Amino acid sequence: MTAAQGVLLRPITMGLLLQSLFLLLLLLLGSCLHTAAAFPKGCYPSEEEGLKTFRCSNAQLTEVPRDIPNDTNKLYLDFNQIPFLPRDAFQDLPLLLELDLSHNAITRIETGAFQGLAEHLHSLDLSSNRLVSVSKDAFSNLKAKVNLSNNPWLCDCRLQELIRAVELAADSSGGIVCDSSTQEEHVGKAFLQVIADTDFCNVYKKTTDIAMLVTMFGWFAMVISYLVYYVRQNQEDARRHLEYLKSLPSKQRRSEESSTISTVV
């Protein structure tokens, strides 16, 4: 190769190299943009204390977002407007350790909402929502410590069963207060203080038993009344028939009486 050819090839080589670098930058930028576009607005991944974290705090969410990285260890969905948790809402997050759903508008939790989290989840924050009544089945097999404070709870047997089924987070039990109750004198009191003296489920069982007894007594009274009415009605019909027979000629009367007696027998 001559010196002149080398001088001509040098700019071409540099141009190809620059073009390759430019294409590589475009690919990297496109990948970053695609990853960012997959996350809801206001959500971003990070790493905290060696744990993979996904934050969606105060992101104006109205539902649990999809496309959360499935290797997430800590998920923050606090300070949003999420109204309820559907079944299998977190089924694709098998490594989740902490879940913060505090300060939302959650009124309903479907059974199976935390399905798939039982093995690893150790912290679940549902404080400062709008929970009034939740079935214990919604937390089935969940081993996490749960914060249920600052919700407008209805204090009844259902809440009593729920509290006994979950492990409450430390220092959160005092925040579970009766916003309403089956017994008016409990309103405004801490639920654990109330159930120290009142067993809502026994009260409910007694009330149910009394209602059943009243219902059974009502049916029994109706049956007895019907039987008395039936007997009296038959007696009245028989009396009228006998009076009718007495008014007949003797021969016809005997025939009718025989028929009546056989019918009665």
Range scoring the smallest mean pLDDT among 16-20, 40-44, 75-79, 149-153:
16-20
Whole-number Å distance between alpha carbons of 114 and 133 = 17
**Distances from the Cα of 157 to the Cα of 143, 192, 204, angstroms:** 22, 13, 7
Tokens of 188: 């405004």
pTM: 0.65
Two structure tokens written together for 254:
């005997």
Tokens 């027979």 belong to which residue?
Answer: 245
Q: So where are the chain's domains?
A: 39-197, 199-236
Q: What is the reported pLDDT for 265? A: 40
Residue 197: what pLDDT?
87
Write the burial class of residue 235 (CB in 10 Å: 0-12 exposed, 13-18 middle, 19+ buried).
exposed
39-197 maps to which CATH number?
Answer: 3.80.10.10
**Virtual torsion, Cα 223, 224, 225, 229, nearest 10 deg:** 100
Burial zone of 153 (CB within 10 Å; 0-12 exposed, 13-18 middle, 19+ buried)? buried
Give the H or E element holding residue 246: helix 200-246
**Which amino acid does the sequence have at 210?**
I
- Average of per-residue pLDDT values in the chain: 79
User: What integer pLDDT is reported at residue 226 of this predicted model?
Assistant: 60
CB atoms near residue 23 (< 10 Å)? 10
Q: Is the pLDDT of residue 204 over 50?
A: no
**Residues in the chain, total:** 265
Q: What percent of the chain has pLDDT over 70?
A: 62
CA angle 228, 233, 234 (to 5 degrees): 100
Residue 32: the pLDDT is 41
SS (H, E, C) 56-105: CCCCCCCCCCCCCCCCCCEEECCCCCCCEECCCCCCCCCCCCEEECCCCC
**DSSP 8-state assignment for residue 140:** T
pLDDT in the model for residue 40: 83
The three-state secondary structure class of 51 is strand
Model confidence pLDDT, tens digit, residues 103-114 = 999 999 999 999
User: Tell me, what's the pLDDT at 261?
Assistant: 44
pLDDT tens-digit series, residues 168-188: 999 999 999 999 998 889 999
Q: Are 155 and 200 in contact (CB under 8 A)?
A: yes
